[in-house]
Each structure stands twice: as structure tokens, then as C-alpha cells.
Structure 1
Amino acid sequence: MLTTRFVDGAPNWIDVGTSDMEGAQSFYGGLFGWEFRSAGPDAGGYGFFELAGRIVAGGMRTTPEQGPPAWTVYFRSPDAGATAEAARQAGGSVPMPPMDVMDQGRAAILADQAGVPFGIWEPARRKGIEAAGEVGALCWAELYTPDIARAAAFYHAALGWETSAVTFPGGVYTSVNPAGTGEDGMFGGMVPLADDPVEAGTGQPYWLPYIGVDDTDAVVDRAVELGGTVRMPATSLAGVGRLARLEDPYGARFAVLKGDPRQT
């Protein structure tokens, strides 16, 4: 499960790049109760979303040249340079090479074999987000990809992940966990693009972060009121919980979940 006791390969940060930072602050503040705090004058406009005084995400304004608005999921690396090289060797790329983030740690943006961007964070003073696996914080992450086997091989080579097949009503789900952590370490899964009715036909593989909520339907309604879009309405899955996929007013996609995906 997702906790803030981070191990190598586990998600330890998320952030949103958006065309309208003030608008994003208003949207996520209204939706989850997040408050935004600047990281300081030397941070280039980057800042932190906080819930009850704990950092749950980051965010900054991005330009069209940097890509469309999107959420990025970061994974803990013991050595950002070595992980970036492992990703290259496994058929991925390094759009943003490892760089020092003041005295907080080292960050890089990589892309997997299908071109899906993700981040890595090598912690120094900052270990990662300060809340996870609870209401208002990251609780799960899914990769929508055209080829599960190739993706599993890539992330195993780059981050050491292990995968397992979990049977649920209607099919089989590929779950992922950091090396050696087993079922207790499951933090997400991989979904074939072609088999998903929401994503089929988009042709765009991507990482989707899930935020924990205590009332999925109410959050969906509120997202619409705040200018968001419902990509998949609130849906109950036996043994999982009630989830929905949303898009903020600027195009960044995310999901919400009441429940624990590991209960499948």
C-alpha cells in the first residue's frame, strides 16, 4: 500500500503542470481542500499543495512547448543518474536529465518504452510527499499502456518493479510493487489501452494518479461545478471501492477513489 515510509521504486511525489496555476489552485482547493504554498523565490514558480499542513503534491505553470497540462508521478530512486541510464538501456529516454533541486534532492523526468513520461526523485532533505494512502492524498497509480509485457520489462529494468496478476470480476489486473515488497508493497497497476473503454481510441498512454476521497459521487459533482470534466462516472468495483476518472479545467487527468485497490 502507499505510505510515506518510502522504499526504492515506490511513488514518492506527484505534481501538476498547468497552463493556469491560479486556476488550478482554485480547482484543487475547492475539490480536495488543498492550500497552495510557494516553494520560494528561487523555485521558478513551483509550489506545494498542502492538506492540514502536510504536502500532498506539487505544481507549477508550464508552457505549451513543455507539453499539455498533466499530472506526473515520481518514483523513489537511490541514484537518479543510474536510474536514468537504466531507463535508456531499457529502451526509454530522458527528456529532463537528473538535476539538483536546491538541497532537497535530485529530480529527473524519464519516458518509458512507449513514450510515457514519469519522474524520479532521489531524496536528500525532502523525502517526498508528507501524506499518502489516505483521503486527500495519493492512494494509487495506474499506467495505461499499449503493451503490458513490454512495460513490465521496462519498469523492472529501470526501477526493479515486480508484477503480479490479480483476478477480479471481469478480468485480470496487473498490479505492481517495488522489489521484494510483495502484496504489502502494491501501489498501482498497468492497464492495456485497447481493453479500456475510457482510454481505447485515444492512442495516448499515460500515468494516472488516484486521490483518496470519502465520497466519490460528491467529489465528482463538485469537480463538474468547478469546471472539471468527468471522463468515467463514479463506478463501484467489487472488492475495490468506488472510483471515477476526472480531468481538471485545463486538461490534466486524475482519478479519485474511495476504497483500497489491494482488496481486489
Structure 2
Amino acid sequence: MRSGPVGARIHHRHVSRIRVPSRLGRPPRPTKPGRRDRDGSAEIGHNRPLNWQSEDRRYHGLLLRKLSEMAPQFVEGAPYWVDLSAADVPAAADFYCRLFGWEATDLGEEAGHYTNLTYQGQEVAAIGPAFNTDVTPQWITYFKSNALYDTTKAIEAAGGVVRMPPMDVFDQTSIAQFTDPVGAEFAVSQPKKHTGAGRWGDVGSVCWVELHLRQAEPSVSFYQRVFGWTTRNMPMGGDHEDPYTLLIPSGQDDSFGGIYIDDQSGQTPRWWVYFGVEDHEAAAAKAVEMGGSRLAEPMSVPEVGSWSVLADPSGSMFCAFTPPN
């Protein structure tokens, strides 16, 4: 395996100041409009190349501090929930609860023993029973839609495949699951009473989602057609020719995730989920102790954070990410 779900260390240098989930409100910027970089070359804002040597470097830390003060208010097209299908739900829940300090609540037989996971009383994810035990389970990212049936039609028209047609989940939400044109699985949800995760972008919750592909097209065009995302390419440097692509909901400035092109690993395209932890090294050691595995060497970028690439005992892959102090 290559450098892990983040793709390459260099990418975090480019996305550090906009590496936050998209919300209705944005945290205050650390600079006033019109203020210029130390070299006087450009105004600080989103419509210019990022300068890692300037105040871009400090912006990341401010955003991470602000995240815990903000209640998630997810815009349409942004990720707002994740869940895992497991052959043994209690065992999977026990693994992640011990790893991340979560608490599990089985919603009962009527709900198919779908199990909500909370951190400090806030919902962060869930685990449900797997209906196909012949494949390795994976974390599924749910994107918000205000019109699920229209989104389903758009997905089919753009070349996606419906794996599970729209269905109501009691009075909580309506959901559907899909496969994009290159094989990456994802889901879409239209909120009702359940409006998504109660905690996002902080320790104990999802911090970032990332799509791993062998080539950019047709996936980039597919998601743009379906969700109206805008994108921004960042050079990765070194011998990596393909840029890293930031994903931004329509009408927003902040990126919720990215696309990393990995044409060497031969892995099936998939959405990766990053969970925030206080110490990713300790989390990795604990995961291995409980029967999980470390899939790559840990990585770190000063003032950005560090992460470990892991798999649970059933093989489901994820990342443990530690923000800077």
C-alpha cells in the first residue's frame, strides 16, 4: 500500500487551511479582508495559490480550534453521516468503542439492530448488519440531499448504479445506496428527524473523507453533475503527476474532502473515512492489540497533523488522524 488514504504527505500542505467539513456557517478568518501575505504578493483568500510559507500555515490550527465550538449544520451535497456494515455488529461496535471511546446503542430488532455510536453524547457514526458477507465491509459515506428521488435520477443519468433504491427509515431519514461509474460505493440521505452527525471535524468524529481512484475521470465529472460540487486542483509535487483535487459543495468556500489518484496500488476505488483521535500512534497500537492491523507507516506534517492507516479485525479500512496541538 502507498502512503495511505491521505494520498501523499504533500497534499496536506496545500489543503491545511481549508481542510474542514462544509457547514452553513464558516469560522472567522484569522485575517481581515485585503490583508496581504508577508511577501506582499497576494491577498489572503481562497482564489489564489496557497502559500505554505505565509499565514496559510497558521490558518489550519485556528480552524481546528473552532470546529469543536460549532454545531454541525450540513449543506446539501456535503457528507454528513457514515456507517459500517458488519457481519458481527456487536464485535465491530466493541472494537470501535474501545478504540475511539465511543458508546454503542442497539436500536433493537425493529431497526435490524442498527447500532448508533456516540462520543460524549453526540452521534458520530453507526454500524449495521451486513447482508453480503462475501465481501469485505467498508465504511460508507452519506451525502446530504434535499430531494433524494431527484438525486437518484441524476446519479443514474450520470452513469451511477443504484445498489439500494430510496427507502424511508421510519421517520428519521430517507436513504439510498449507489456505486459510481468506477466502482466506489457511497450513499445519499434526505434528512427528516435525523439531521446527520452531532459531531464532525473533531476528536472522536469524522474529520475528512477522501476518494481514492486510479484516474480522475469519469468520477470527477460524475460527482459534479450529481451534487454540483466545485473542485480545486493542488499540485502534489515530487514524482506524482496527478494533482490532488479538493471537493467543495456548491456555493461554499470550504472543502470537506478530496480525490487522490493512485494508479499504482491496484486497489478498488473507494471513499476513505478519517476519524479524529488524540494520539494516532496510540490508537494504532490499540487497534493492533485488539486484532486490527496497521496498513502503512504513520505519517506526519508539521502544523497539519499526523495519521495512521488502519484496518479493523474484519478488514474494514479507515484512518486515525491527530490534529496539531
TM-score by length of 1: 0.91
Contact 1:76 1:122 in 2 (8 A): yes
SS at match of 1:194: coil
Contact 2:212 2:262 in 1 (8 A): yes
Amino acid at match of 2:184: V
> Equivalents in 1 of 2:164, 2:127: separation in Å?
17
Structure 2, unaligned runs of 5 or more = 1-19, 24-71
User: What is residue 143 of structure 1 aligned with on the other side?
Assistant: 211
> Equivalents in 1 of 2:309, 2:197: separation in Å?
22
> Equivalents in 1 of 2:134, 2:169: separation in Å?
19
User: What is residue 58 of structure 1 aligned with on the other side?
Assistant: 126
User: What is residue 240 of structure 1 aligned with on the other side?
Assistant: 304
> Equivalents in 2 of 1:145, 1:240: separation in Å?
24
Deviations 1:215-259 (A, max 9, x none): 111111111111111112211135532012111001111111112
> Equivalents in 1 of 2:194, 2:134: separation in Å?
25
> Equivalents in 2 of 1:87, 1:67: separation in Å?
24
Contact 1:21 1:61 in 2 (8 A): yes
User: What is residue 83 of structure 1 aligned with on the other side?
Assistant: 151
Amino acid at match of 2:301: L
Aligned partner (choices 24, 32, 37) of residue 105 of structure 2: 37
Deviation at 1:40, TM superposition (A): 3.4
User: What is residue 258 of structure 1 aligned with on the other side?
Assistant: 322
SS at match of 2:296: strand
Structure 1, unaligned runs of 5 or more = none
Contact 2:215 2:263 in 1 (8 A): no
What is the count of residue pairs matched by the alignment?
253
Matches within 5 A, 1:174-185: 174-182=245-253, 184=254
> Equivalents in 2 of 1:222, 1:187: separation in Å?
28
The change in CA–CA distance for 1:238 and 1:167 in structure 2 (over 3 A counts) is farther
TM-score by length of 2: 0.74
SS at match of 1:156: helix
**Percent of aligned pairs with the same residue?**
36
- Which range moved further: 115-124 or 36-45? 36-45
Q: Which runs of 4+ in 1 moved over 2 A?
A: 63-68, 166-172, 237-240
Amino acid at match of 2:149: G
Name the one with the larger strand percent. Answer: 1
> Equivalents in 2 of 1:63, 1:111: separation in Å?
16
Cα RMSD for the two superposed structures: 1.7
Aligned partner (choices 8, 28, 34) of residue 96 of structure 2: 28
Structure label with greater radius of gyration: 2
Matches within 5 A, 1:80-229: 80-168=148-236, 170=238, 172-182=243-253, 184=254, 186-195=255-264, 200-202=265-267, 204-229=268-293
Amino acid at match of 1:175: L
> Equivalents in 2 of 1:79, 1:39: separation in Å?
26
Deviation at 1:41, TM superposition (A): 3.4
